[in-house]
Chains A and B, each alone.
Chain A
Amino acid sequence: MLPESVNAVKTDIKVRVKFSKTGSLKFISHLDLNRTMQSAFLRSKLPVWYSEGFNPHPRVAFTPPLSVGVSSLTEFMDFKMVEEVEPETIVERLNASFPAGLRASLCYAPKAHFRDIKWSLYEIKFELSGKAPENIEEKTKAALSADEIFIEKYSKKGEPKVVNIAQGIRFCSSSLDGNVFTVNVKLSCDEMAFVNPKYIAEVLEKAMPECFAGAENEVCRMEVYLADGETLFS
């Protein structure tokens, strides 16, 4: 009889790591993030489980992909280990192997499924391109809380399609500091109703072109939530 490989015996040590992706990492696509993780795993020498076969690789699952250019304080990834390692040690060794811009903060055994993540809270910081109207906060709230918010999406074939994304937007708060205007908004990351944060800039530009036209913005995912949009995913 063939000896069973070590991997085959213990593949059930599932691990979830919470991490942030900031700085130059925000310009790294999901695919490249995956590659970066694979090399970080090898550097960390953690006993990560590898698939069998000609091209062994760790199987890593991530939270819904971020758009390129968007940073995040709340990302999760799941992978399997072949040996128990203290959560603190995992965090420590990953951080020692991560490039600047990736930072692990927590590690634990996963409970909820990634597919239950339905909402993301984004912080969008605009550098306004013109003088803000007095009631910019009210106008923002109105623009993002309307029942019908139409934007033009492009299908994979490149055909424009007008879509109502109002159901996928939950306005939270906003604040103005000098010419920096910050909007906190929850956006759907449900597969069927996904709202890209870039649409918020489009909607606000339509509402207040005098200060949003050509305004630079920085987007950061702050938290992810379950279907009710209130319960934090963990």
Chain B
Amino acid sequence: MKIPESILKQVEKPGRYTGGEWGEVIKDPESVDVRFAFCFPDTYEIGMSNLGIRILYNILNEREDVWCERGYAPWADMEEKLREHNLPLCSIESGTPLSEFDFVGFSLQYELCYTNMLNMLDLGGIELESAKRANDAPIVVCGGPCTYNSEPFADFADICLIGEGEDELPELMDIYKKHKAMGFDRAAFLREVSHHQSMYVPSLYDVEYNEDGTIKSFTPKFPNVPAKVQKRIVKDMDKAPFPKNLVMPFIQTVQDRIVLEVYRGCIRGCRFCQAGMVYRPVREKTPEVLNEQAKILADATGYSEISLSSLSISDYSCIEKLTDELLSWTDDRKISLNLPSLRVDSFTKELMDKISTIRTGGITFAPEAGTQRLRDVINKNVEKADLLRACRVAFEGGKTQVKLYFMQGLPTETDEDLEGINELAESVIDEFYATPGRPKKSPQVTLSTACFIPKPFTPFQWEAQCDLEELQRKQKYLMGKVMNRKIKYNYHDAKVSRIEAIFARGDRKLCRVLLEAAKRGIRLDGWEEFFDYDKWMEVFADLGIDPAFYANREFGEEEILPWDNIDIGVTKAFLLRERHKAYEEKTTPNCRLQCSGCGANKLGGERSCCPKA
């Protein structure tokens, strides 16, 4: 049942809900064994930009026995209409209520979307708590980076898929089909699922707590349920399935271009960065395969821009060859190249020329910290001279705008480090005027700062986030230092960062908080107009749960961490070693220069730079 037109006429951007896009997959529901609703717990524009979902949508739909459809969080106006008319949240393709699917999958990309997931389950007519779901209710399966610590939503997910889903999801479909044929028994199905690598079934574990609220023990309920769940990776990225067709949204989305995934992982090892750890080991695709895939996607989609995606594109070992090959045909096809996530130390004139032939505008770098001392603490391995050199290249190439990303509230940060952010910006302005052949316009440096959030599976996972007042003081302090009118300073809302920090390192006790938050109508937290910090604090206060226990407490090195049951390859010993090196202000060379023994090589992987395990 599609949403009635009378409702579509009354909401903003009805194109979010109608479907019918180029590339959408329609099947006969009678012809498939498994129906899968792939949900993104945020709006259509954000969800449609996610590469992971696009990959998995294709993998599932390439199977004749599965129909994968899409679902998104409705905007507030649509939610109001659905509730007013007592209509369930439905899939985009066929308009089927979520409750009628075999699987409802959620891709969890950031902590702030947890409440959206609950709201979507509620709107879809599905019990929020997995324990309350009937035998024939949909299986709720969660994936995405947030599942590396699934504990805050453990009560709501039947299954969490840890790691990369390309092989995992089809395997899960096969297990399901087998059980469906035998007469489906939910408990038996979940038990079998738990025996497969990377498939974590939270309900099969008991957690006990110490008096101080930390975890005392984490034990499987049955002997053959694994105590540790190991993440899954795609070993050979060249052979990984890639979407040969993309659904082309009618309305503008965040990532409105071909996203060509060049490699997974990162050789760097910045100590605050979760992606840099959980996606290890590095696995590259070859330029030949990438060029071929880019052509197929350009034909199939009609996008006029290709974005080379990775955690740090200039670290790709064949970047020259790849960009040359792409540029040999993209110009003729009126397709522009876009290279996000450039590092200052590998940003060259050659690279710059390749992107500037098509696009003007600014350039973005992420020094992350204002002083060399603090950059060493976080292992950024970038020097001021690198930044200035990169900026000079940009200015010579006609750019006048530089955007610099920083983090505030990093471990050991002092006011001197904050001042360093402004000084760095001043130096960039000076560099502009010292560049012969600079553009005639006046330069602009935009400083954009985020608050440090300690994330699971990083060397800084034990660190406390500064309390809210201190985070806000730091922002004011830097604001007071920025005097130059050519420097603009933007910062993230510290309150949002605190909520993220709470859930990033949360345990199962937070499930109650999410449930209560959902009951009180908290959702769309990623949107300024809906985020309500005070409402969140009321929930914590009313339930007697201290948010500072999660956000602002230094976790003990001996403590059992909520995510210790997950094995990402990288060892806790390595993370600890890195933490200690941070305090000694010692850097660790990147993976290509020297193996630092993180442990991820045990997972294997082609075209990585790891020694064989």
Binding site for B on A (CB under 8 A): 23-25, 27-29, 32-33, 35-36, 38-43, 45, 50, 54-57, 68-69, 97-101, 216, 218
Which of B4, B22, B300, B360 is close to A99, meaning CB atoms less than 8 Å apart?
A: B22
Shortest CB distance A98–B (Å): 8
Taking CB atoms, residues of chain A closer than 8 Å to B24 are 99
| Contact, CB under 8 Å: A27 / B8 | yes
Instruction: Judge if B252 is at the interface, Cβ distance under 8 Å.
Output: yes
Taking CB atoms, residues of chain B closer than 8 Å to A42 are 298, 301-304, 333-335
Which of B251, B336, B358 is close to A32, meaning CB atoms less than 8 Å apart?
A: B251
| Contact, CB under 8 Å: B302 / A39 | yes
Q: Which residue of chain A has the shortest Cβ distance to B23 in the bound complex?
A: A99
Q: Mark B336-363, 1 if CB is under 8 A from A, else 0.
A: 1000000000000000000000111000
Segment with Cβ contacts to A, from B12-20, B508-516, B566-574: B12-20
Given A28-B251, A36-B250, A39-B248, A69 contacting B303 (CB threshold 8 A): no
Q: Mark B553-571, 1 if CB is under 8 A from A, else 0.
A: 0000000000000000000
Cα distance A40–B300 in the bound complex, in angstroms = 10
| Contact, CB under 8 Å: B5 / A216 | yes
Instruction: Judge if B299 is at the interface, Cβ distance under 8 Å.
Output: yes
| Contact, CB under 8 Å: B302 / A28 | no
Tell me whether chain B's interface is mostly helix, strand or loop, or mixed.
loop
Cα distance A216–B250 in the bound complex, in angstroms = 25
Given A42-B334, A54-B358, A99-B248, A23 contacting B20 (CB threshold 8 A): yes
Q: Which residue of chain B has the shortest Cβ distance to A69 in the bound complex?
A: B9
Cα distance A82–B589 in the bound complex, in angstroms = 54
Q: Which residue of chain A has the shortest Cβ distance to B9 in the bound complex?
A: A69
Instruction: Judge if B135 is at the interface, Cβ distance under 8 Å.
Output: no
Cα distance A45–B334 in the bound complex, in angstroms = 11
Given A54-B358, A54-B360, A218-B5, A43 contacting B300 (CB threshold 8 A): yes
Taking CB atoms, residues of chain A closer than 8 Å to B20 are 23-25, 99-101
| Contact, CB under 8 Å: A41 / B358 | no
Cα distance A28–B14 in the bound complex, in angstroms = 8
Q: Which residue of chain B has the shortest Cβ distance to A48 in the bound complex?
A: B334
Instruction: Judge if B224 is at the interface, Cβ distance under 8 Å.
Output: no
Cα distance A37–B419 in the bound complex, in angstroms = 50
Binding site for A on B (CB under 8 A): 4-6, 8-9, 14-15, 18-22, 24, 248, 250-252, 298-304, 333-336, 358-360
Taking CB atoms, residues of chain A closer than 8 Å to B359 are 54-55
Cα distance A62–B248 in the bound complex, in angstroms = 21
Shortest CB distance B308–A (Å): 19
Cα distance A28–B18 in the bound complex, in angstroms = 9
Cα distance A50–B332 in the bound complex, in angstroms = 11
Taking CB atoms, residues of chain B closer than 8 Å to A29 are 15, 251
Q: Which residue of chain A has the shortest Cβ distance to B2 in the bound complex?
A: A24
Taking CB atoms, residues of chain B closer than 8 Å to A99 are 20-22, 24, 248, 250
Cα distance A43–B359 in the bound complex, in angstroms = 22
In the A-B complex, the 8 residue pairs with the closest CB atoms: A39-B302, A24-B20, A24-B18, A42-B302, A43-B302, A27-B14, A99-B22, A28-B250
Q: Which residue of chain B has the shortest Cβ distance to A127 in the bound complex?
A: B6
Cα distance A99–B19 in the bound complex, in angstroms = 10
Shortest CB distance B89–A (Å): 18
Taking CB atoms, residues of chain B closer than 8 Å to A101 are 20
Taking CB atoms, residues of chain B closer than 8 Å to A54 are 358-360
| Contact, CB under 8 Å: A69 / B19 | no
Given A27-B18, A42-B335, 7 more pairs with CB closer than 8 A? A35-B252, A39-B22, A39-B304, A41-B302, A55-B336, A99-B21, A100-B20
Cα distance A123–B14 in the bound complex, in angstroms = 22
Cα distance A68–B9 in the bound complex, in angstroms = 8
Shortest CB distance B259–A (Å): 15
| Contact, CB under 8 Å: B15 / A27 | yes
Cα distance A55–B300 in the bound complex, in angstroms = 21
**Can you identify 14 A-B contacts, CB atoms within 8 angstroms?**
A28-B251, A32-B15, A32-B250, A32-B251, A42-B303, A43-B302, A45-B299, A55-B358, A57-B304, A68-B14, A69-B14, A99-B21, A100-B20, A101-B20
| Contact, CB under 8 Å: B334 / A216 | no
Taking CB atoms, residues of chain A closer than 8 Å to B8 are 27, 69
Cα distance A33–B250 in the bound complex, in angstroms = 7
Taking CB atoms, residues of chain A closer than 8 Å to B304 are 38-39, 42, 57
Cα distance A24–B16 in the bound complex, in angstroms = 10
Cα distance A218–B475 in the bound complex, in angstroms = 53
Q: Which residue of chain A has the shortest Cβ distance to B360 in the bound complex?
A: A54
Cα distance A41–B477 in the bound complex, in angstroms = 52
Which of A35, A39, A68 is close to B301, meaning CB atoms less than 8 Å apart?
A: A39
Taking CB atoms, residues of chain B closer than 8 Å to A39 are 22, 248, 301-304
Cα distance A218–B6 in the bound complex, in angstroms = 9
Q: Which residue of chain B has the shortest Cβ distance to A23 in the bound complex?
A: B20
Shortest CB distance B245–A (Å): 11
Taking CB atoms, residues of chain A closer than 8 Å to B4 are 216
| Contact, CB under 8 Å: A97 / B5 | no
Which of A28, A43, A45, A55 is close to B15, meaning CB atoms less than 8 Å apart?
A: A28
Q: Which residue of chain B has the shortest Cβ distance to A54 in the bound complex?
A: B360
Cα distance A41–B92 in the bound complex, in angstroms = 25
Q: Which residue of chain B has the shortest Cβ distance to A42 in the bound complex?
A: B302
Q: Which residue of chain A has the shortest Cβ distance to B359 in the bound complex?
A: A54
Taking CB atoms, residues of chain B closer than 8 Å to A56 are 334
Given A28-B250, A42-B333, A99-B21, A69 contacting B302 (CB threshold 8 A): no
Cα distance A40–B19 in the bound complex, in angstroms = 17
Shortest CB distance A41–B (Å): 7
Cα distance A100–B23 in the bound complex, in angstroms = 10
Taking CB atoms, residues of chain B closer than 8 Å to A41 are 302
Cα distance A223–B322 in the bound complex, in angstroms = 50
Cα distance A39–B21 in the bound complex, in angstroms = 12
